[in-house]
Amino acid sequence: MANVENPFGQVLVALITPFDSDGEVDWAATEQHIEDCIVSGADGIVVTGTTGETSTLTDPEKLKLVEVAKSVSSGRAKIITGGGSNETAHAIEMYKASERAGADGVMIVTPYYNKPTQAGLLTHFRMVADATDLPVILYDIPGRAGIPIKYETILRLAKHPNILAVKDAKGDLSEVSRVLNQTDLMYFSGDDPNVLPHLSIGATGLIGVTANIAAAPYRVIVDAVNAGDLHTARAAHQQLEPLVRAAMTHVPGTVAVKYILHGLGRISSPRVRLPLVGPEEWEAALIEDDLSLVRDVPGVDFSNFRPDRNAAAGGALPKIAGTTR
């Protein structure tokens, strides 16, 4: 297949949205966190995705996150807007507004809750992609959406000139291989434990949750794979394993990452918005047990890790409710 220029980057962070203790966006912490991720090696930032708690953000917050990320990055990283909507009309509206706000690309999630047929998915993705000139990543996440984007549907969508990539959170590596063999689509690993397996069969990069904590080792993995250095890539993958387990296994990734970042002193509060809540005592203990096994991960020092289970407890009701309109 023809080579397609990559407009997204390779090490993309599925960015958390830092909140204060009342559940309002902490804009200063957001700016600092984006800066930290870029300095650590990220060349792409995905705002308002699953990890960014898009379903409980307001539309103005989503657009401001694009603007803030664009300003902080100053061209050092691509800014991708995620989330979208399970209402096609609203998704079109938001992606148009995100383009005006300065986004470099859009990530369109499979419509959740509605459970459309594959024909409905095809129409949804095509209409959204038609509405913007930005390059598009399809976000295939059946665990949250309730339905997959089937192989045949991906092949049909690959013919759209704006649809250039897939974020794969399905974990079917054999299907990824089939699509890579038959299309020009780029693949991004959306499953932190499987970043190296995805890259090893031809994926372009990752859109990672754990990269909020440590982007540098993912930069090492991607650069090593690009250079054909499997030994270095595998060593970094193995170093990351307990950190990935801590972030992705016991509670939703957003919850764990905020808990860990707050314990490291990198965000002001671990607060999440309801219906998400902070880890319970036993869940926090499991996270901390895994963190005790982390060794020599670049950019992370757990010697001064000070988790605050009380600060993380519960969830917040923001002043203004998120809305689909």
pLDDT tens figures, 79-93: 999 978 999 999 999
Cβ-based burial of 261 (10 A; exposed 0-12, middle 13-18, buried ≥19): buried
Annotation-wise, does 207 bind a ligand?
A: yes
Distances (CA, A) of 169 to 99, 138, 207: 25, 11, 10
Q: Is 167 a residue of the active site?
A: yes
- Among 70, 167, 258, 259, the one annotated catalytic: 167
- For 12-31, what is the mean pLDDT? 98
CA 113 to chain centre: 20
Q: Model confidence over 4-21: pLDDT tens digits?
A: 799 999 999 999 999 999
- Among 139, 187, 218, 259, the one annotated catalytic: 139
Q: Where in the chain are the domains?
A: 9-228
- For 64-80, what is the mean pLDDT? 98
Residue 3 pLDDT: 58
Q: Is 78 a residue of the active site?
A: no
Q: Is the peptide bond before 161 cis (omega within 30 degrees of 0)?
A: no
Going by pLDDT thresholds of 50, 70 and 90, the confidence category of residue 323 is low
- Are 76 and 38 spatial neighbours (Cβ–Cβ below 8 Å)? yes
- Four-way CATH pick for 9-228: 3.40.50.11540, 1.10.357.10, 3.20.20.70, 3.40.50.300: 3.20.20.70
DSSP class per residue in 152-196: HHHHHHTTSTTEEEEEE-S--HHHHHHHHHHS--EEEE-SGGGHH
Joined together, the tokens standing for residue 200 give: 């090893």
Q: Is the pTM of this model over 0.85?
A: yes
Q: Give the 3-state DSSP-derived string for 13-69, with helices as H, strands as E and coil as C.
A: EECCCCECCCCCECHHHHHHHHHHHHHCCCCEEEECCCCCCHHHCCHHHHHHHHHHH
Q: Is the pLDDT of residue 325 over 70?
A: no
- Are 232 and 220 spatial neighbours (Cβ–Cβ below 8 Å)? yes
Joined together, the tokens standing for residue 185 give: 């689509």
Annotation-wise, does 80 bind a ligand?
A: no
Residue 322 pLDDT: 83
- Are 294 and 242 spatial neighbours (Cβ–Cβ below 8 Å)? yes
Length of the chain: 325
